[in-house]
Amino acid sequence: MKYEIGFGRAAKLLNLVFKAIPKLEILDNGTRLRIKKFLHVPLDSFSIRGLINIIDYKIPRNASMGFIKDKKSYFYFQEQIRILTDKAKVSPIDYEILCWDVAHQ
């Protein structure tokens, strides 16, 4: 690529690839569940704006993956999603599926 895409966008691309791994047919259910625990959420407008009224962070209504400028904010959002999903007893990627996949069906 001829230009810098930024940390948030680069992390999203990587996390989208990782999100597909548990869908591989060669994996058994136990392995799928273990992998899902470690996945990070591909941060985008849906997953970020889903936190507007939940976390203590000033998130603009038009926030998207470009809103995540550095590692510090990336890991802050991942941590907040993990805290939320731990309370719900689901994996962070389940939050992403709810925010993105359900909104696009």
pTM for the whole thing? 0.86
Q: What radius of gyration, in Å, describes the C-alpha atoms of the chain?
A: 14
Output the CA–CA distances (angstroms, integers) from residue 39 to 4, 33, 42, in the order listed. Answer: 24, 10, 9
Query: In the chain, what is the greatest distance between 2 CA atoms, to the nearest angstrom?
Result: 42
Tokens coding 90: 């689901």
Tens-digit pLDDT string for the chain (105 aa): 577 888 888 899 999 999 999 999 999 999 999 999 999 999 999 999 889 989 988 999 999 888 888 999 999 999 999 999 999 999 999 999 888 777 787
